[in-house]
Amino acid sequence: MTYNSSSYTTGMDRTARSEEVCLKFPPKVISPGLAALLVQKDKLGKLMDYSGPRLHFQMVVIFVLTQIIHSLLKLLGLPLFISQLLAGILMSPVIFSDEHSLVTISEDSVAVLGSVGALGFMFFMFLSGVKMDLRLTWKSGKLAIAIGLFPVLVSLIFWLMTVKTLHPGGNVFSNKIFHLAVTYSGTSFPVIHSLLSELKILNSELGRLGLSAALIGDMVTLVLTMFSIWVNTGIQKGSKDVLFDVGMAMLYVCILVFVLRPGMKWMVKRTPEAGQIKDTCFYIIILAFMTSPRFTALFRVYFLYGPFIFGLAVPDGPPLGSALVEKLDPVVSGLFMPIFATTCGMRFDLSYFKYSTKYAYHQAVGAVVTLIIKFGVSLLLPLLCKMPTRDSFALAFIMISKGIVEIGSYSIMNDSRIISEDIFAHLTIVIIIVASVVPIAVKKLYDPSKKYLCFQKRTIMNSRFNQELRMIGCVHVPGNVNSIINLLNASCPTRECPIALDVLHLVKLSGQATPLFIAHHKEQKASSNKSYSDNVVVAFKQFERDNLGAVSVNFFTAVSPSNLMYEDTCNLAMDRLTSFIILPFHRRWYSDGSIESEDQTLRSLNFDILERAPCSVGILVEGRRNIKGSNSKDTLSPSNSSSYAIAVIFLGGEDDREALALAKRFSQDESVSLTVIHLKAVDSLEFFLAEDERMLDKEMLKDIKESVPLTYIKEHVKDGPETSTFLRSIVKDYKLIIVGRRYRSEDAITLGLEEWCEFREIGIIGDLLSSSDFFGNFSLLIVQQQRKRNG
């Protein structure tokens, strides 16, 4: 079969080429099986004649080669995208000629693999639109708007000036070159979001600013791209065609906004609260997405933006947006996009540089000039706003990042003959360099953990006794609300010793790209129709009213990825000068020792906060429920008893002293009965503790004995098993037990217990008391004093 390819630009002149391609009909899709092929010679060659096995083989080669390359490059801090692109280059004619390659062995082989990758790219653009919340553009700060807008416009103007200087007689608006220029200067929100996620700074201060600026920049790029297409249409066909194209594009947007979006909102309203969207609704939206490229051609919209704009019309977040992302994103990001990135790399050929035109070199120069100007403008704006120099440089690198969207656009332009192979080769080199340098530079320049280096003591011991104690209570599920309230009720707050509580509701980011942090006392109206924390706010408001004057409560909601929630918690602790953070334990038990619920993600979060917290931290292990599925109140609840029996297990060390300081605050009320159980090693085996630590322990014990009424019990034990036996005999007498974490602190008292420790985050004694061997309906609070962290 012979065809003539469409004309494409190799320079400022238009040239046409003709290619001959041989395709076999009917195509061979499914092989007859290994048994039939084994009797034939050249078995592998015969197997590769069938498109099904050939596609599977190509996918295996792509993933294996990508992982091998990434296992080496990740040591240098390079992203997975670079490994995928390099895998494609290695599979291109750079290494193997077509006749010796099992990937590019025939035209239909390349076509099938390319079609799978192109479908993945369409899904990627659709999901990128689903994750974006355009309402946040109106709430972006002035700096974010400036950084999103001016670098794109200024770099575009400099590109036009550069091309005009290099080609005085050329028309920069002809042959879609202006469209190419927009991709040089434009900003891609999905690329920047991927970069920030990979660097784990998505919800840091710099990450939030970068995301807001990227959202603005992406919208500006979209408008400029459509404008460039309309300008090119006007030059080639006239103003009437331009007006018709603009009108059709506006009609397409109106249909999405006023017809399809209300229909999708109707689907959301019919979904029960906290329920899942119906499969029928899901399939309808997927069908609409699959037909969107055809409709974009009908409405004269750039086909890449059809699925993207349709994704923007989908209501973000749960239940619809999150369902689409949760079901499609693993397949798209894990299967389709690696194939697409690799096929983009397969288009690269070093031989193109031998026959590269002067115009292609000028395009490469223009791309580099654009990047430099964009970097300079992105750097100047934050510096003028007094942002730290290192943060400003990091932000400038973030704003010039290039990735899968740009290489995908250039590949489509190359396939459509908008740009020539030599231009594509130059631009691919530019993208590889930028995508490699940017993550390394940002990682070197910006370390969000450094801001947690506190030179000020933020502990309970260093808090004045008659001043309010600033605390943060972290809530993940409804059950955490009662647990924290019951613990605070057990502390019996008074006007003389008040508590300032910041309630932080941590919600997993799902179906959205942009993390949210909502301060409810500042925003009377939520940032959207979604009400993440209504029930939490109601419960703690009632607790505040019940303790009027003794407790003040502020409410915050953080919507962010699970692996980055520690950023929100630690940032809030820094901003609010917090002394103590209460974290729920990741596991809950029934009274018979069986597990009620368990969340390993929550356990990882607790570890991250313990390592980074700028203050003291407590992990609350709830008392076991008496009846499965019951909603009975915790024994700490005031309605259950007029007296609270609290015990502190004291072995010595900074964490145990912090536990004593907390217990001292809890025991100010007459209804609280405090017992300090001091475990000591027999035969004076205290050489594990330094002399200064022993002196501090004695002073702390003396202070609490003189300050509050308590029962002091000193028990001598010789090893871990004897400690376990003693504690098992006394735990039933108390409703709340407070212990220090004492991680990595093993002495004669706990000798032999560390090897049985299952949960390191709550220490040896905490793990022992929370085990199934210790029956009793008591709650457990494990305390870690603020850690000294070196810069």
Q: How far is CA 510 from CA 275, 321, 559, 756, in A?
A: 14, 8, 9, 37
State mean pLDDT over 443-461: 80
Q: What is the pLDDT of residue 24?
A: 63
59-68, 191-200, 390-399, 704-713: the lowest-pLDDT one: 704-713
Strand 469-475 vs strand 499-508: parallel, antiparallel, or unpaired? parallel
pLDDT at 46 over 70: no
pLDDT at 2 over 50: no
Q: What is the pLDDT of residue 592?
A: 66
Question: Hey, what are 591's tokens?
Answer: 């009274």
Q: What is the pLDDT of residue 108?
A: 63
pLDDT at 638 over 50: no
Region at 627 (left for phi over 0; alpha for psi -120 to 50; beta for the rest) = beta
Q: How far is CA 240 from CA 176, 177, 233, 245, in A?
A: 19, 22, 10, 9
State mean pLDDT over 282-309: 81
Please give the Cα distance from 81 to 762 (Å, whole number).
39
pLDDT at 138 over 90: no
Share of the chain above pLDDT 90, in %: 20
**pLDDT grade for 472, boundaries at 50, 70 and 90:** very high
The larger pLDDT score, comparing residue 630 to residue 49, is at 49
45-49, 670-674, 740-744: the lowest-pLDDT one: 45-49
The larger pLDDT score, comparing residue 762 to residue 95, is at 762
40-54, 57-71, 327-341, 409-423: the lowest-pLDDT one: 40-54
Q: What is the pLDDT of residue 176?
A: 61
530, 565 in Cβ contact below 8 A?
no
CATH 3.40.50.12370 in the chain, residue ranges: 469-784
Q: Which CATH number fits domain 2-445: 1.20.1530.20, 3.40.50.12780, 1.25.40.10, 3.30.1600.10?
A: 1.20.1530.20
Q: What is the pLDDT of residue 16?
A: 45
Question: Hey, what are 45's tokens?
Answer: 């060659």
Question: Hey, what are 563's tokens?
Answer: 């692996």
77-81, 156-160, 303-307, 658-662: the lowest-pLDDT one: 303-307
Per DSSP, helices labelled H in 712-770 are 720-730, 763-769
With tokens 């390191």, the residue in question is: 760
Q: Per residue in 681-695, pLDDT tens?
A: 876 555 455 677 788
pLDDT at 4 over 80: no
Radius of gyration of the chain (CA): 32
Q: What is the pLDDT of residue 163?
A: 75
State mean pLDDT over 718-726: 86
CATH 1.20.1530.20 in the chain, residue ranges: 2-445
Q: Per residue in 159-193, pLDDT tens?
A: 888 877 776 666 666 556 677 788 888 899 999 99
State mean pLDDT over 7-24: 45
**pLDDT grade for 639, boundaries at 50, 70 and 90:** very low
Element housing 736 (H / E):
strand 736-740
Cis check: omega of the bond before 319, within 30 degrees of 0: yes
Question: Hey, what are 203's tokens?
Answer: 């919800």
Please give the Cα distance from 249 to 191 (Å, whole number).
26
**pLDDT grade for 630, boundaries at 50, 70 and 90:** very low
Question: Hey, what are 643's tokens?
Answer: 């007296």
Please give the Cα distance from 209 to 388 (Å, whole number).
14
51-55, 552-556, 617-621: the lowest-pLDDT one: 51-55
Minimal CA–CA distance to 220: which of 254, 174, 197, 189? 189
Share of the chain above pLDDT 70, in %: 83
Q: What is the pLDDT of residue 735?
A: 87
Q: What is the pLDDT of residue 32?
A: 62
pLDDT at 637 over 60: no
Please give the Cα distance from 153 to 138 (Å, whole number).
20
Q: Per residue in 52-108, pLDDT tens?
A: 777 888 888 889 999 999 999 988 889 999 999 998 888 876 666 555 455 555 566
Beta strands in 590-685 (DSSP E): 595-598, 616-621, 644-650, 672-681
Q: Under CATH, to which class is 469-784 assigned?
A: alpha beta
pLDDT at 7 over 60: no
CA neighbours within 13 Å on the CB side: how many for 177?
26
9-13, 17-21, 609-613: the lowest-pLDDT one: 9-13
Buried-state track 164-179, b at ≥16 Cβ within 10 A, e below 16: eeebeebebbebbbbb
Q: Per residue in 347-387, pLDDT tens?
A: 887 777 777 788 788 888 888 889 999 999 999 999 999 89
Please give the Cα distance from 525 to 4 (Å, whole number).
60
pLDDT at 38 over 80: no
pLDDT at 617 over 90: yes
Sign of the C-alpha dihedral, residues 126, 131, 137, 143?
negative
Please give the Cα distance from 584 to 603 (Å, whole number).
9
710, 676 in Cβ contact below 8 A?
yes
State mean pLDDT over 577-589: 89
DSSP secondary structure of 441-484: HHHHH--GGGGG--SS--SSTTS-TTSPEEEEEEESSHHHHHHH
332-336, 353-357, 495-499, 628-632: the lowest-pLDDT one: 628-632
Q: Per residue in 189-244, pLDDT tens?
A: 999 999 999 998 888 889 889 999 999 999 898 888 888 778 777 777 777 888 88
375, 395 in Cβ contact below 8 A?
no
Question: Could you tell me which residues are beta bridge partners of residue 512?
Answer: none
pLDDT at 9 over 50: no
State mean pLDDT over 609-632: 73
Q: Per residue in 481-519, pLDDT tens?
A: 888 988 888 887 878 888 899 999 999 888 788 888 888
Question: Could you tell me which residues are beta bridge partners of residue 784?
Answer: 617
Q: What is the pLDDT of residue 5?
A: 37
CA neighbours within 13 Å on the CB side: how many for 344?
33
pLDDT at 150 over 90: yes
Please give the Cα distance from 757 to 109 (Å, whole number).
56
The larger pLDDT score, comparing residue 121 to residue 708, is at 121
State mean pLDDT over 761-780: 83
* Residue-averaged pLDDT of the chain: 81
